[in-house]
Structure 1
Amino acid sequence: MEAEMAEVGTAYVLKNILTTRQTGPPILPKGEYGTGFNPDMPDTLPSWLTEDDLAYFVSKFEKTGFIGGLNYYRNLNINWELMAPWNAVKIKVPVKFITGELDLVYTSLNMKEYIHGGRFKEDVPNLEEAIVQKGVAHFNNQEAAEEISNHIYEFIKKF
């Protein structure tokens, strides 16, 4: 994967990831779309992502590469084993959950049902609210920065 990413370049990979509106889990179909899971990558950046922002991210990933993130996914089975002692542990602090309606995690198999069907509330008993932002994808802190800040402010000011 690292070789395929290197072939198209760091800027392409990051722009492809950051601008995706494709829902569901990220799938990198070899040969079909190249090395990206965003077949509809726009020519221009969205309003929330500047060329300077992209250049900054590119400069950081050019130093480190993508291996850390890729290794996390390569290691999922071991991660599950390592986290087993915390299986079924409830999160008991107050929580406000915020996601975008186009987020690739939120739109993954059974995730909406988990969040809105009561099982999330069972695991997080002090869940105060689950916010789903319209028209927003995975990078909601950047796509809707002011709205996210307002949600965080309204949540923490009561403590």
Structure 2
Amino acid sequence: MPSLIEIAQRLDRVESILAIQRLSADYCRGADRRDLDVFLSVWSPAAVWKVSEDLEFTGREQIAAAIGEQWRFLSRAFHWTSNAAIDLSGEIGSGRFDVDGEVQLLDGSWFAIAGEYLDSYVRVDDKWLISSRTALIYSQRPVLEAERISP
């Protein structure tokens, strides 16, 4: 039978994984709904957000400016993460999420995107935060008119 210490450690691990999965959901929800407070709540103070091979932002202030720029060029966005693979080691962790999304540009055209997020996490004051997120885009294509559903 496991000891109380072992049970507490296992419970902490499960709660940590759930908290990290929630970070990914809040990241998507904050970005898609243009809720800056929710979006910024997932990042550690010195976090790095690498949005492409040659473009990264460091710290919440730069990250806030970067998402604000994205919002200027998109009418709407929807994206979801799945297939979480999270590893923990004490107060740090790493993870991978598949990501699927659709964005609408200002001209009304839509694009479908598939990729992956590569993450690092840190626990600060008993709260898990993203310390780095690298976005890898594997596929990006226009959504054809025939694929859209009219409201």
* TM interval, short-chain normalised: under 0.3
Higher helix share: 1
| Structure-1-length-normalised TM-score | 0.21
Higher relative CO (Cα under 8 Å, sequence separation at least 6) belongs to 1
| Structure-2-length-normalised TM-score | 0.22
Higher strand share: 2
